[in-house]
Amino acid sequence: MNFNDAKNEILQVLSKTERQHLPKLLEWIKTSDDLDDILVDNQSVILHSIAEDLRACLPMEAMAPSETLAMQKGYLYSAASQLVGVEMSSEFVKLQSMAVEKYGFSDRIQVIHADIRSQIALVQKADVLIMNNVFEYFMEPRDQMQAWLYISQNFRKKGALLVTVPSIQEALGLLQDAAFLETLSLSQWIEEIPVDYSVYLKNDTDPDSLKQIHLYRVL
């Protein structure tokens, strides 16, 4: 069936549907998992392939299947002219560089092997900063505080966006240091922007994991 035939069939179905059920039907078309198998987009296919490659390189416990690297998702779903990943583990840098080369992403992606705290100029000029569980499991509490302070002092471009997993409040809450929270004074630095979590619900999406994603704007 070509596009026009399919469109006409859909219009016919919609015209035969009782009015009160139309909004529910349209919402189902937009969000239902039932259509996922039909609506696999090109980006999803590439991401799936990257995930397979990474899984093949890692022990099972090192990375969950859904945990494809954020910057590759960034590449496929963003028109940003420059995407820079900063990673202090050399193994992960190697892995990321391998995927970037293999999938031809090096025109816009660069992977830097460094501690983010040494990348002041980069953080200062960034428009969007994505931090996926970055410090919580990888640094001692004292280093985590230093790292958050560094981010809050250098990521200051008005209107720049900060994406964190989990929420910044949750990450900082784990540190249990009220005096530090006061020093950071989050409310003077960023404001949270509500995210519509229903937009990206798919078959394999865990809604609770999705809700761990938080978006903030620099004031």
| DSSP state letters, 48-77 | HHHHHHHHHHS-GGGS-TT---HHHHHHHH
Position 175 contacts ligand SAM (CB under 6 A): no
Q: For residue 21, which phi and psi values (nearest 5 degrees)?
A: -95, -5
Q: Which stretch binds ligand SAM (CB under 6 A): 16-24, 28-36, 115-123, 208-216?
A: 115-123
* Closer of 92 and 105 to ligand SAM (Cβ): 92
Q: How far is the CB of 31 from ligand SAM (least distance, A)?
A: 25
Q: Rule CB under 6 A: say whether 139 interacts with ligand SAM.
A: yes
Among 49, 97, 110, 132, binds ligand SAM (CB under 6 A): 132
Is 50 one of the binding residues for ligand SAM (CB under 6 A)? no
Q: Is 155 in the site for ligand SAM (CB under 6 A)?
A: no
* Whole-number Cα distances in Å, 45 to 36, 39, 50: 12, 11, 9
Q: How far apart are CA 140 and CA 32, in angstroms?
A: 42
Which residue from 8, 66, 89, 203 is in contact with ligand SAM, where contact means CB under 6 A? 89
If one asks whether residue 124 binds ligand SAM (CB under 6 A), the answer comes out as no
Contact mark string toward ligand SAM, 62..81, x via CB under 6 A:
-----x-xx-----------
Region of 128 (left: φ > 0; alpha: ψ -120 to 50; beta: rest) is beta
CB nearer ligand SAM, residue 32 or residue 212 = 212
Cα–Cα distance between 91 and 160 in angstroms, integer?
Answer: 30
Contact between 218 and 154 under an 8 Å Cβ cutoff? The reply is no
Phi first, then psi, for residue 191 (nearest 5°) are -130, 145
Q: Toward ligand SAM, which CB reaches closer, 29 or 64?
A: 64
Our CB check for ligand SAM shows the closer of 8 and 82 to be 82
Minimum CB–partner distance for residue 136 and ligand SAM (Å): 8
- Which CB, 116 or 129, lies closer to ligand SAM? 116
Crossing angle between the packed helical segments 70-77 and 42-57, to the nearest 10 degrees: 160
Angle at 67 between CA 115 and CA 110, to 5 degrees: 45
For 144, residues 6+ apart whose C-beta sits below 8 A from its C-beta are 135, 136, 175
Among 54, 87, 99, 105, which residue interacts with ligand SAM (rule: CB under 6 A)?
Answer: 87
Residue ranges binding ligand SAM (CB under 6 A): 67, 69-70, 86-89, 92, 115-117, 132-135, 138-139, 147
